[in-house]
């Protein structure tokens, strides 16, 4: 069969033809020039980035008799180079570790390394997919890998270096092959198309490069498939039709419908996209890549370091980023990633994708940091607006902010004294007059005649407590000393050692129950207090004749004035 696949036909034969791995090529060339060749190398990286290709070029260069002294490249025409390419000379041995992963295979290598090269200067072992070796095979390789004969070089290649034992990695010089940038892949594809005399659109080549995910080999395979589909002209439409991916415009419309939370429109766009033969699993991946592009643009990540984004996509992303914030992009990407794994193992990938679209449309943008900061600021302003007047009212100094207080003492007829303090709230008045008399409402002589003799109905209160199955409250009340005042107020005093009784009765639920019970029995609002006797001595009611003296001690003389 004379035909060769493009990735085989265009496999680099010299260092200068390797795409996107300049850092590795330069290092190897310098080692060859300075003759400081290592005994073991580890080439790691994603598929199709040139690991095996560079290993073969390196092996030929080491054995070539007509090596280019200027550019350090194999001549590829001498007997040794041709024999290595044709695999007729066994000085370069390529081993597939996936199928030769047992201890016996490694023991065979250990036996053969003792023999000198048949034709060349070095015997080179290229072990591909080395991570597939068994633990026993790795252990058998350790000693030989650490101290091989001077004429032996090991080149280990792997896509999963994390699976290699640390003891193996530490015995090798490691080179990490990077994914090839889309621009470099596109240039190579254009070179291939020109050699094949195929007219191609730049956007079509960039689409192929983006879908290869940094693998030049994958890009050449996709290009070969697209060339077989078209007739001497490669267009963007033909590429997306061949790959089964969504048209850029359709994908943009679907994303915009998701961002605007239009469920019906989004599902309609989805069905339109799938009706054109696009794969549901592929579409989920495209959506993830699209929102990833939005995220990069939104965060202003320099696009020069990205290998999967084109200039056209960047411009499209800039037009959409104003409609969505970073937090929602991240949420959408998380949801899509979750549904991608579900669709991958489902026989109903389209249904999974439809559920994902509905979920995305229902996912509203959460409170961003800026929104939360704005809300906190408004709350703080509201609190300050409330606290500021209160602070002005309660300030004890500063004559310019507090008006003089007017105190009216008790008149000859015995009416209760009245305190009028401007710019003070009712709560502040009650607090300042707590040492005078505690009035819940204004009472006149008529109301004072209607006061209930609470001591006569107290036994009825205790009986009702028993009927309500709250005997423990009655037991606690029995330990206190009942005392009635002249203003519909009941005080229960407790001796030292009965603080628990006092604290229990002062609990909100217990006190509310007793106050409600007193109101039901007497029909009047009764004030009820539970105190200790030592506290009672400190809380004696102050006679009205001492009001002036007490207020004089509390208020500054500059704002205190007594009016008869």
Q: Output the domain CATH number for residue 210.
A: 1.10.8.60
pLDDT at 315: 62
Q: How does residue 419 score in pLDDT terms, banded at 50, 70 and 90?
A: very low
Q: How does residue 451 score in pLDDT terms, banded at 50, 70 and 90?
A: very low
Least confident piece of the model among 104-108, 381-385, 413-417 = 413-417
pLDDT at 449: 38
Residue 405 located in a structural domain: no
CB atoms within 10 A of CB 184: 16
The number of domains in the chain is 4
> 162 and 41 in one domain?
yes
Mean pLDDT calculated for residue range 379-403: 56
> 67 and 140 in one domain?
yes
User: Which residues, at least 6 apart from 289, have a Cβ–Cβ distance to it below 8 Å?
Assistant: 308
> 93 and 27 in one domain?
yes
> 336 and 233 in one domain?
no
> 51 and 26 in one domain?
yes
> 15 and 136 in one domain?
yes
Q: Give percent of the chain above pLDDT 70.
A: 75
pLDDT by residue (tens digit) across 274-293? Answer: 887 778 888 888 888 888 88
pLDDT at 41: 93
> 294 and 202 in one domain?
no
Residue 490 located in a structural domain: yes
Place of tokens 């008799």: 65
CB atoms within 10 A of CB 22: 11
Residue 420 located in a structural domain: no
282: domain CATH number?
A: 1.20.272.10
514: domain CATH number?
A: 3.30.300.180
User: Of 268, 213, 276, whose CA–CA distance to 242 is shortest?
Assistant: 276
- Is the pLDDT at 157 greater than 90, yes or no? yes
Tell me the CA distances in angstroms from 363 to 244, 291, 320, one per residue in order: 28, 15, 18
Q: How does residue 174 score in pLDDT terms, banded at 50, 70 and 90?
A: very high
The angle formed by the CA atoms of residues 465, 466 and 470, to the nearest 5 degrees, is 70
Residue 57 located in a structural domain: yes
> Can you give the residue range of the structural domain that contains 318?
248-362
pLDDT by residue (tens digit) across 296-307? Answer: 888 887 665 443
Domain boundary among 308, 339, 362: 362
> 259 and 159 in one domain?
no
Residue 430 located in a structural domain: no
pLDDT at 493: 82
Q: Give percent of the chain above pLDDT 90.
A: 8
> 208 and 88 in one domain?
no
């Amino acid at each position: 069969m004379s035909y060769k696949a493009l990735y085989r036909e265009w496999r680099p034969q010299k260092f200068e033809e390797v795409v996107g791995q300049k850092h590795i090529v330069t290092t190897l060339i310098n080692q060859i020039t300075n003759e400081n060749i290592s005994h073991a190398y580890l080439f790691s990286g994603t598929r199709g980035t040139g690991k095996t290709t560079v290993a073969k070029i390196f092996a030929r260069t080491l054995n070539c008799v007509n090596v280019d002294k200027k550019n350090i490249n194999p001549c590829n025409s001498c007997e040794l180079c041709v024999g290595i390419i044709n695999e007729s000379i066994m000085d370069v041995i390529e081993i597939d570790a996936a199928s030769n992963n047992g201890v016996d295979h490694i023991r065979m290598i250990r036996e053969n390394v003792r023999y000198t090269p048949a034709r060349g200067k070095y015997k080179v072992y290229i072990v591909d997919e080395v991570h597939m070796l068994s633990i026993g095979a790795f252990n058998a390789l350790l000693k030989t890998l650490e101290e091989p004969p001077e004429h032996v070089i090991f080149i280990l290649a792997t896509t999963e270096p994390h699976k290699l034992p640390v003891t193996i990695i530490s015995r090798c010089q490691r080179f990490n092959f990077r994914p090839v940038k889309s621009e470099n892949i596109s240039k190579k594809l254009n070179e291939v198309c020109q050699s094949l005399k195929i007219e191609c659109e730049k956007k079509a080549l960039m689409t192929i490069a983006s879908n290869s995910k940094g693998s030049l080999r994958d890009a050449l395979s996709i290009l070969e498939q697209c060339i077989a589909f078209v007739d001497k002209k490669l267009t963007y439409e033909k590429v997306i039709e061949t790959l089964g991916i969504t048209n850029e415009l359709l994908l943009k419309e679907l994303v915009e419908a998701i961002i605007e939370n239009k469920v019906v429109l989004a599902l309609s766009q989805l069905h339109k996209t799938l009706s054109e033969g696009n794969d549901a699993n592929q579409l989920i991946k495209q959506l993830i890549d699209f929102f990833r592009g939005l995220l990069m643009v939104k965060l202003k990540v320099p696009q020069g370091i990205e290998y999967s984004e084109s200039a056209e996509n960047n411009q499209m992303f800039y037009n959409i980023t104003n409609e969505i914030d970073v937090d929602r992009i991240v949420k959408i990407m998380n949801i899509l990633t979750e549904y991608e794994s579900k669709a991958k193992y489902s026989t109903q990938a389209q249904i999974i994708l439809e559920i994902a679209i509905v979920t995305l449309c229902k996912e509203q943008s959460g409170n961003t940091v800026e929104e939360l900061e704005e809300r906190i600021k408004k709350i703080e302003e509201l609190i300050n607006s409330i606290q500021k007047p209160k602070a002005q009212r309660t300030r004890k100094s500063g004559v310019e902010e507090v008006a003089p207080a007017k105190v009216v003492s008790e008149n000859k007829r015995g009416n209760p004294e009245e305190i009028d303090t401007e710019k003070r709230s009712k709560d502040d008045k009650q607090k300042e007059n707590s040492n005078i008399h505690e009035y819940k409402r204004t009472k006149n002589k008529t109301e004072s005649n209607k006061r209930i003799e609470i001591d006569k109905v107290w036994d009825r209160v205790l009986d009702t407590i028993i009927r309500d199955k709250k005997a423990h409250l009655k037991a606690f009340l029995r330990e206190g000393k009942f005392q009635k005042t002249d203003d519909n107020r009941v005080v229960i005093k407790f001796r030292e050692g009965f603080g628990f009784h006092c604290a229990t009765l002062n609990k909100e639920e217990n006190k509310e129950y007793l106050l409600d019970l007193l109101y039901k029995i007497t029909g009047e609002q009764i004030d009820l207090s539970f105190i200790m006797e030592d506290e009672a001595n400190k809380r004696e009611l102050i006679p009205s004749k001492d009001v002036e003296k007490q207020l004089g001690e509390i208020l500054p003389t500059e704002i205190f004035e007594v009016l008869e």
